[in-house]
Amino acid sequence: MHEDSVNALQRQVEKIRSEMGGADKLERMRARGEKTVREHIDAFLDVGSFRELGTFARSLRPEVRDSTPGDGKIGGHGRVDGRPVSVFGDDITVLRGSSSVVSTRKEHRLIDRAMAMGIPIVHFGQTGGGRIPDLMGSEGISEAGELFDLAKRRHLVPMATAIVGRSFGGSSFLSALSDYVVMVRGACLAVTSPKVFEIATGEVISFEDVGGVDVHARKTGQIDLGVETDEEAYAAIRRWLSYLPNNAHEQVARIEPTGSFDSDTGIGDIVPERRTRGYDMRRLVARICDPDTVFELQPTYARNVVCALARLNGFSIGVVANNPMYQAGSLDPQACHKIIRMMTVCDAYNLPVVFLIDVPGFMVGQRVEHDLMLHWGMRMMQALQNASTPTLTVCVRKAFGLAWQAMNGAQMANKGLYAWPSAEIGFMDPEVGVNVAFGSKLDEIGDPEAREAERVRMVREVAEATSPYEAAGTMRIDEMIEPADTRRVLADDLEMLANRPVPPPEARPLSYWPTS
């Protein structure tokens, strides 16, 4: 090959990659303290590992061919902690990173390669939406519809999205199809811009109110984590990936176990004896798992349950636990949705899941009924029954009503079901049950002291029936264990479960479920 042609290639590559959508736009971004998508990618990946694909892409439209280098999307392959990944994102210096025919083709080429190679996908989202006039006609919008081919990913490879700016349209859709979403404060995540709201409906709303970090981290649950800086977003995705294999065909490598497996005599003190007293379940989760390995997902959404990735005995696991610090640890629609999302990811990537139960039941009331409590409660139980990854369950204090089964209790598909001796398992709280079932009968007792004495007797009788020894006696609980032995028992089970035959991805129905 002639040296002149090689030099010409190098000059073209350097011009496209350094100038992007124009020096003036780059200067304005830097003045605002914003990073370009190439800077996001370089900061996220291992140093020097990025190899770009589609450098010479440009718009199909003749009038903007020369002003659309890369056509608004930048991507390629690189490494994270030595592991290969496919990575791409929106270049807002080129028509606000809007989605067009060519840019959509580029994204899908990168996704197709990642699927074929069996490597994770990482996406940086901040697009202005679909590009007009590219998508105005029937041909244009039909071409852009290729985006939804990603819905056939079936979780065969992990996918994470970082929302690093104002994200509408394509990048928002990609985040909803991802297994993990982190969002930087100041960004906005929505189907369309508030400016479009105002034109279409007359509604005036701020970017923050329609789709800011707090809206999604606390109210909608459409992100897994809100962070303050880009660097925190990179670190969160790197850590999330560290718990997962490259693809659904692999198992996560076990690391050297940390922490003691000796009897932990103080662990039982974390859980108060009185069932109505709150405590922070995250303390118990941290005590059971290997030290400093708990990585909580959606920590400010549906706080009545804790969902986390962690390690126990060196194995990557998922953790699902009621948190009595919030709403007494009861299950509401949001909690069920959070658990289903967690279980789907764990099932797809072969992570065993540990359940810790302390639940008074499903939440009741008009609000949760209107929020589809029935639908989400039963959907959660279906998810658990369709899971192929092994689960282990420990009832640490109370389990009332159908929530006992819903939290992976008796007759669910667990591979180990244990209870602490102080646990209570029954149809409902004995106090509540006596008042509901026998309140009118007790009212017939005229003497207040006699009425109270009879109420106490009845509560005691019902409470005795909630002893976990009753269920253990009929093999609805595998074993009663001391709180001090919880970590060791679970660690032993995980070691034995490591020998299990893992079904292929096509034989894991839960792994095909949507995570959004």
426 vs 132 pLDDT, higher one: 426
pLDDT band at 419 (very low <50, low <70, confident <90, very high): very high
- pLDDT greater than 90 at residue 184: yes
pLDDT band at 145 (very low <50, low <70, confident <90, very high): low
Q: Indicate the Cα dihedral angle 74, 79, 83, 88, nearest 10°.
A: -10
Q: Indicate the Cα dihedral angle 221, 225, 230, 233, nearest 10°.
A: -120
Lowest mean pLDDT across 32-36, 194-198, 287-291: 194-198
CA-based torsion, 216, 218, 219, 222: positive or negative: positive
- pLDDT greater than 70 at residue 434: no
The CA-atom distances, in angstroms, between 259 and each of 291, 394, 491, 495 are 6, 20, 11, 16
The neighbouring-strand residues paired with 183 are 163, 226
- pLDDT greater than 70 at residue 316: yes
* Angle at CA of residue 450, ends 449 and 454, nearest 5°: 120
Quote the pTM value: 0.93
User: What per-residue confidence (pLDDT) applies to 350?
Assistant: 94
One-letter amino acid at 268 equals: G
Secondary structure string (H, E, C) spanning 55-100? CCCCCCCHHHHHHCHHHHEEEEEEEECCEEEEEEEECCCCHHHCEC
User: What per-residue confidence (pLDDT) applies to 441?
Assistant: 76
Q: At what angle do helices 281-288 and 486-497 cross, to 10 degrees?
A: 60
User: What per-residue confidence (pLDDT) applies to 146?
Assistant: 57
Query: Torsion-angle region of residue 224: left (phi > 0), alpha (psi -120 to 50) or beta?
Result: alpha
Average pLDDT of every residue of the chain: 91
User: What per-residue confidence (pLDDT) applies to 389?
Assistant: 95
What is the token pair recorded at 382?
């279906």
pLDDT band at 141 (very low <50, low <70, confident <90, very high): low
User: What per-residue confidence (pLDDT) applies to 446?
Assistant: 77
Fold of 3-242: 2-enoyl-CoA Hydratase; Chain A, domain 1 (3.90.226)
Report whether 397 contacts 420 (CB < 8 A). yes
What mean pLDDT is predicted for residues 281-301?
Answer: 97
What mean pLDDT is predicted for residues 215-235?
Answer: 97
- pLDDT greater than 80 at residue 180: yes
One-letter amino acid at 413 equals: A
Could you list the beta-strand ranges (E) of 331-415: 353-359, 391-400
> Residue ranges of the domains in the chain?
3-242, 267-427+467-512
CATH class for the domain made up of 267-427+467-512: alpha beta
Could you list the beta-strand ranges (E) of 401-497: 416-419, 424-426, 479-480
User: What per-residue confidence (pLDDT) applies to 432?
Assistant: 72
Report whether 333 contacts 299 (CB < 8 A). no
- Alpha carbon distance 515, 498 (integer Å): 26
Percent of the chain with pLDDT over 90: 67
What is the token pair recorded at 222?
């459409």
What mean pLDDT is predicted for residues 177-184?
Answer: 96
- pLDDT greater than 80 at residue 225: yes
The model's pLDDT over 10-37, given as tens digits with 9 standing for 90+, comes to: 999 999 999 998 889 989 989 998 999 9
User: What per-residue confidence (pLDDT) applies to 356?
Assistant: 98
The CA-atom distances, in angstroms, between 297 and each of 179, 239, 276, 292, 464 are 11, 12, 26, 15, 37
Lowest mean pLDDT across 21-25, 132-136, 191-195, 413-417: 132-136
The model's pLDDT over 435-459, given as tens digits with 9 standing for 90+, comes to: 766 667 777 787 787 777 777 787 7
Q: How far apart are the first and last CA of the chain?
A: 50
Percent of the chain with pLDDT over 70: 96
265 vs 235 pLDDT, higher one: 235
Query: Torsion-angle region of residue 212: left (phi > 0), alpha (psi -120 to 50) or beta?
Result: beta
Residue identified by tokens 């005795």 is: 464
What mean pLDDT is predicted for residues 327-344?
Answer: 96
User: What per-residue confidence (pLDDT) applies to 266?
Assistant: 92
CA-based torsion, 354, 359, 362, 363: positive or negative: negative
Query: Torsion-angle region of residue 364: left (phi > 0), alpha (psi -120 to 50) or beta?
Result: beta
User: What per-residue confidence (pLDDT) applies to 100?
Assistant: 84
Sheet holding 51-53, edge to edge: 51-53, 73-80, 83-90, 121-125, 159-163, 180-184, 225-227
The model's pLDDT over 53-74, given as tens digits with 9 standing for 90+, comes to: 999 999 888 898 888 998 999 9
Report whether 53 contacts 77 (CB < 8 A). yes
What is the token pair recorded at 51?
């190899």
User: What per-residue confidence (pLDDT) applies to 351?
Assistant: 97
Select from 466, 480, 474 the least CA-distant residue to 275.
466
- pLDDT greater than 90 at residue 118: yes
What mean pLDDT is predicted for residues 237-262?
Answer: 94
Helix (H) or strand (E) holding 434: helix 430-443
Q: Indicate the Cα dihedral angle 261, 487, 319, 358, nearest 10°.
A: -150
- pLDDT greater than 80 at residue 120: yes
Lowest mean pLDDT across 216-230, 296-310, 349-363, 437-451: 437-451
**DSSP 8-state secondary structure symbol assigned to residue 203:** -
